[in-house]
Structure 1
Amino acid sequence: MTSSQPTILAVFAHPDDEAFSVGGTLAHYAQKGVKVVLACATRGEAGKITDPSMTIADLGKHREAELKRATAALGLPDPVFLDYHDSGRYERTRYDDSLALMNVNPFAAELKIRELIAEVKPDIMITFDPHGGYGHIDHLVIHRAAAAAFFSTGNVEGGGPQRLYFTALSVEAAEGLSRMGQDLDPNIYGVSENTIAVKMDVSQQAERKKAALVAHGSQTGPNSRMGQMSEEERQTMERRMLGTEGFAIGGTRTGLPAFPLRGLFDGLTGFEGVDN
């Protein structure tokens, strides 16, 4: 499904998912002239406000605006919303909300993403890994729907996207999340180095990525895990997050020229110069 312009479709669950996991990579390719479309399944309506100085009447509307500021900081167009609701976590879980992503028929979510693929005609898709980063139910649902859409669009005219990438959390990064208070086993949620197909050097995008994170102020305030870090912990996190971003192969319709790859487009016919 090759378009005239190299195109990436990134599919995530909540505003801020993109900044933490792929912000540097999306900014890098946008600067190289790649069309980058970010699809966000929800508006983060059930998130936890972590800045007590904020008075927010409509959190979904507020976080939509935050995401638009974040994408602008990364050099991307406004995001596309799939119009589902945030399922929340812990005491904020929305069990009775029929539009909460955890309650949605996964085939219906897949169909929405298929329709977006038909419109955008991406060469590359990116979404969460099978553990959803740190296991959030919405991350798991959108992983399943996006991966399914990649595979089922292989049968449509044009053949669908050429490659699907999953965000790849290294064991070291998973250990860092664990120290930040996430209840996860780094040896389950983290992947081995030989699983990482692309390790993107995004150090040149550090300031853009920082600006995108700051844009999500309701989620990165003084009461957030980030806000409560010591200076040493913050520097360690920034070194890991702002230097490299890793990706695993989720699916491919083409052969790979090497492993690991030089970049997301490495070996794709017609886009030989994108990763130079």
Structure 2
Amino acid sequence: MTGRRSRSRPGGTTSVPSLLAVFAHPDDESLLAGGVLARHAAAGARTAVVTTTWAPDSHRAPELADALRILGAGGPRMLGYADARVPGSAPGRARLLDAPQDEVVARLVRHVREVRPDVVVTHDGYGQLTGHPDHVRTHRATLTAVHAAGLEHLHPEAGEPWLPSAVYLATHPHSGAGELGALLRSVGKTVRSVPDEHVTATVDVRPWLERKWSAITAHRSEAERERPLPGILSRLPAETRDRILATEWYTRLAVRPTPGDDDALTA
């Protein structure tokens, strides 16, 4: 994955892009971007993950902490909203779907400005293959927050402005969704993939596959259940599972303008 290079490393050396991933649920980070997170962390890049649902005092918080430690992505950053389908995930808190958009965006802006990432990674517009409503809401709030983070008069209480170079949407192309799609359909889930031409970055994460799988299985409560994806994958032969997890796909959205770019509106 490419992006504006960090200039924060000592000795004047050029580093790989720093990453901030924003996903809806604990385990999304490992399933959808675990390879890329592990790869960038291993190369010395700053990596961090924001999770928009589940409370920091829930049983899934320590599982998330273990997964992030395996991936080298820092500690949990949990917004603490309730999962749309699990009210007990954040007792007394609003569901992410019911929270005011400005509130969610402002909280995400704070993390963008604190981490100051070169690249932000989040869900695609479908909310991944299953179209989970929390994924879709997280996608929309993240895109708004990335732009807002670069504007000094928006959310000034959240810190100094910072504009990442690009957003990468974790996705699945039609050609890469077949085997996983069949598994999801077998437990009654929908499958929504994108045309292959929408994919701008195809990442072979086989060198980090062991770490990625360890992070996925760190979400123990999901791996023990039948319908969640960690549980589905846990029941597969290792060869099949590795084949499904070995590639990650992304759609790049440029955020920072490039001087000299043609403007189609004035051409």
Structures share a fold, TM > 0.5?
yes
> After the TM superposition, which of the residue ranges 5-14 and 204-213 deviates more from structure 2?
5-14
Shift in CA distance, 31/136, structure 1 to aligned 2, threshold 3 Å = same
Shift in CA distance, 181/247, structure 1 to aligned 2, threshold 3 Å = closer
Alignment of 1:32-181 (within 5 A): 32-43=43-54, 61-88=58-85, 99-133=94-128, 134-156=130-152, 160-181=163-184
Please tell me the root mean square deviation across aligned C-alpha atoms, in Å: 2.9
Contact 2:113 2:161 in 1 (8 A): no
CA distance in 2, matches of 1:72, 1:250: 28
Q: CA deviation at 1:232?
A: 6.1
Shift in CA distance, 203/15, structure 1 to aligned 2, threshold 3 Å = same
| Unpaired segments ≥5 residues, structure 1 | 46-59, 257-276
Contact 2:147 2:255 in 1 (8 A): no
Q: 1:22 aligns with which of 30, 33, 54?
A: 33
1:9 match: secondary structure:
strand
Q: CA deviation at 1:12?
A: 0.6
Contact 1:9 1:125 in 2 (8 A): yes
| Unpaired segments ≥5 residues, structure 2 | 10-16, 153-159, 260-267
Count of aligned pairs between the two proteins: 236
> Aligned letter for 1:4?
S
Contact 2:112 2:162 in 1 (8 A): no
Shift in CA distance, 111/193, structure 1 to aligned 2, threshold 3 Å = same
Identity %: 29
Q: CA deviation at 1:126?
A: 0.6
Shift in CA distance, 8/229, structure 1 to aligned 2, threshold 3 Å = closer
> Aligned letter for 2:29?
E
CA distance in 1, matches of 2:64, 2:234: 26
Q: 1:211 aligns with which of 214, 225, 230?
A: 214
Q: CA deviation at 1:75?
A: 2.1
CA distance in 1, matches of 2:254, 2:121: 10
Structure with more contact order per residue of length (Cα contacts < 8 Å, sep ≥ 6): 1
